[in-house]
Structure 1
Amino acid sequence: MDRRHVLGLLGAAPIAYATTGFESVRAESDYPTQPIKALVGFAAGSGADILARFYSKKLSDLCGRPVLIENRPGATSNIALSLAANAKPDGYTIVYSANSNMAGNPFMFKDLSFDVEKDFTPLALLSQTTFFLVVAPNSPFNTVEQLTKHLLGQQEKNKYGYTNQTAHIGTEYYMSLTGIKAVPVAYRTAVDAMGDLANGGIDFMIIDGTFGSGQVKAGKLKPLAVTAVTRHPTFPNVPTMAEAGVKDFEFTSWWAAWAPKDTPREIVDKLEGWFGKIMAQDETRAFLEPNAGTPLKGGSKEAREKQRVEIQKWKRATEAAGIKPL
């Protein structure tokens, strides 16, 4: 190999590297140039799915590309989160996930295949959802106090339903504060639980407001309390759990959008900006409030800070409820 050939190779290397770097920068500045996949860890038709489809339509309108929902239910959203954590960090895979998963799952499962802090880049806060403590519409109980008294009187016979982490831990927390015992029954979606609640297969449940609000309005569920610290403006006559006599109870679900770790900053900034615009729209508030939701403001930094506070909250709640990771 002659000297001219060696020098040619040495000179070509940085040019190739610079071209690769240029292509990467151009791809980020042109983003998005193809559809974006949005993972959801719950089934189609669930409260989470309803929220995700609303946000994705809005995001598609702003970014100019389709945002395609991929429902990957199962393992308390761990399947969807694992797929997101291992996706290429190019902005074409995002995941909508709640605090129950991004803060609660480490206290529910011993061997997660991902780290909720290290393996994800937060994009933006989205919304907070109030949950309801509900019974069947023909139930003789009209207050939390009446339900609690009944449940305390037949401890070993009680059953409650749940469809997600917030409902599960929230119910266990309620039980720990009141001394109730009940057997948990897991359902894939809230729709699946409706029949058992109506026919007495389960005694009560804490249900997410995105789905539950419509059932309450239609008279298909009787709400005894909301789980937030304040009453919801759409349901001003429904007391909080604290007002209903369960002191120190406050448990809500909040949602954020996430991307895999190492997603380029320019792409994160674009997504953060688009989601910020979505949450500031009057149409978003008009969509959320009738469904027991409230818009949240905050980008990547605020979402990370809120997640870290929430992790400590879930740690306290699971310890109080005596829940050990499986």
Structure 2
Amino acid sequence: MKRIPFLLATAALALGAIAPGATALAQDFPSRPIKFVVPFPPGSGTDTSARYFGRKLTEMTGQPVVVENKPGGNGFIAVQNVLAAPADGYTVFVGSNSTLAVNVALFKKLPYNPQADFAPLSMMMRAPTVIVVPPQSPYKTLADLIAAAKAQPGKLNHGGGSAGYQLMNEALNDRAGIDIRNVPFKGASEALTAVASGTVDVAFADITASTELIKSGKLRALAVASDRRASALPSVPHMGEAGLPGYGAYVWVGAMVPAKTPKAETAKLATLLAQIERLPETREFYEKIGAETMQGGADEMRRFQADEIALWKRIATKANVQQE
């Protein structure tokens, strides 16, 4: 699968920029268990990435990596947990487009600054979303869903597992000229459960979290929100085939530490995660679940994050989303 074109910052340059004494202090790092804090429940794409990278990091360092799921509160609970911990490199925030970019567009006053409060480590993955409906839904195609939404503005409901999914729905509303109302949930797994049971009409789902549900018949996929079909769901049309060309909606995952974390420990973690990203088995792992690796160092991640924040601000403004 084609990788996303990022300029790679080498680990040697990252470490070389640090004073020799500080580098020496990081040589024994990590010397105890590391905690990965995830703002969503188990089963989400962010959780899947955290557990994969955590397992590989344990294999590389011999130190356990504990994944802690802190869902709810639009990601605020997890963020505050990380920022309240000692900034020593042993607490890592594994966040997504929602917590690291989209929240800026949805809230007037965030209890954190996703750029100033964190130091980026590395990108992890990107995956297209899938538009799913209940298996018993009368909507067999995306065109069916759009036609029903146009006929009954505001009646259909979207299950939003995060702020990111909410804005994806708003972007669809704007692009298709419809009004599907968002119903917030604590995480993607809860939103998908609501769709499967028919509690809500439709949802955007991370392909990594929804593929098995789709294959087992618990969800019906209308389209992959991308410009090409996904290898994990080859029979599902992409947006152009489904009648809405030019629309795309992706989720991405990246790792960060509190900004006050010493540069030596930050660079060591970034180096280790970059090594995991480059493993052939990492590429294979993500390809199997319909995602792709995102290789990029701290500088690339910081620029990418800034671009994403600007993008979702534009979408929120265009869709007249009222900030909370």
- TM-score greater than 0.5 by the shorter chain: yes
- Residue in 1 aligned with 2:15? none
* Residue number in structure 1 paired with 2:106: 108
Q: 2:257 aligns with which of 253, 256, 259?
A: 259
5 Å-filtered alignment, 1:1-326, equals: 26-194=24-192, 196-326=194-324
Q: Distance in 2 between matches of 1:246 and 1:26?
A: 55
CA deviations over 1:236-265 (Å, ceiling 9, x no partner): 332222442224322211111101113222
Q: 1:153–1:234: structure 2 CA closer, same or farther, 3 Å change rule?
A: same
> 2:298 is aligned with what amino acid?
S
Distance 1:164 1:300 in 2: 25
Q: Please identify, of 21-30 and 58-67, the stretch whose mean Cα deviation from structure 2 is larger.
A: 21-30
Distance in structure 2 (CA, Å) of the matches to 1:197 and 1:85: 34
Following superposition, the deviation at residue 100 of structure 1 comes to: 2.0
Please report how far the alpha carbon of residue 115 of structure 1 lies from its aligned counterpart in structure 2 after TM superposition: 1.3
* Aligned CA distance change for structure 1 residues 313 and 272 (closer, same or farther; 3 Å): same
CA distance in 1 between partners of 2:293 and 2:173 (Å): 29
Number of aligned positions between the proteins: 306
Give the fraction of aligned pairs with identical amino acids, expressed as a percent.
Answer: 33
Which residue identity lines up with residue 233 of structure 2 in the other structure? F
CA distance in 1, matches of 2:313, 2:227: 19
**2:287 and 2:280 mapped to 1: Cα distance?**
11
- What letter matches 2:75 in structure 1? S
Cα distance, 1:39–1:231 mapped onto 2, change above 3 Å: same
Structure ID, larger Rg: 1
CA distance in 1, matches of 2:219, 2:72: 26
1:279-317 Cα distance to aligned partner (Å, 9 max, x none): 122222232223221111111111111111111111111
TM-score by length of 1: 0.87
Cα distance, 1:195 vs. partner?
5.1
Structure 2 alignment gaps of length 5 or more: 1-18
* Distance in 1, Cα, partners of 2:173 & 2:136: 23
Superposed displacement of residue 44, structure 1: 2.7
SS in 1 for 2:252: strand
Query: One-letter code of the match for 1:208?
Result: D
CA gap 1:231/1:22 in 2 versus in 1, 3 angstroms: closer
Distance of aligned partners of 1:113 and 1:43 in 2 relative to their CA distance in 1, 3 Å threshold: same
What is the distance in 2 between the residues matched to 1:23 and 1:73?
A: 39
**What amino acid is aligned across from residue 295 of structure 1 in structure 2?**
T
CA displacement, residues 93-122 of structure 1 (integer Å, 9 cap, x when unaligned): 111011222111111112222211111110
User: Structure 2 vs 1, CA of residues 199 and 70 (structure 1 numbering), >3 Å: closer, same or farther?
Assistant: closer
Q: 1:56/1:195 Cα in 2 relative to 1: closer, same or farther (>3 Å)?
A: closer
Report the equivalent of 2:13: none
Q: Could you say what secondary structure the match of 1:287 adopts?
A: helix
Q: For each residue in 1:174-214, what CA deviation from the matched residue of structure 2 results, as whole angstroms up to 9, or x when unmatched?
A: 01222222332222344434454345332111111121111
Q: Is the 8 A contact 2:169 2:182 kept in 1?
A: no
Note closer, same or farther for the CA distance 1:102–1:110 as it changes in structure 2 (3 Å cut): same
Give the superposition deviation at 1:24: 6.7
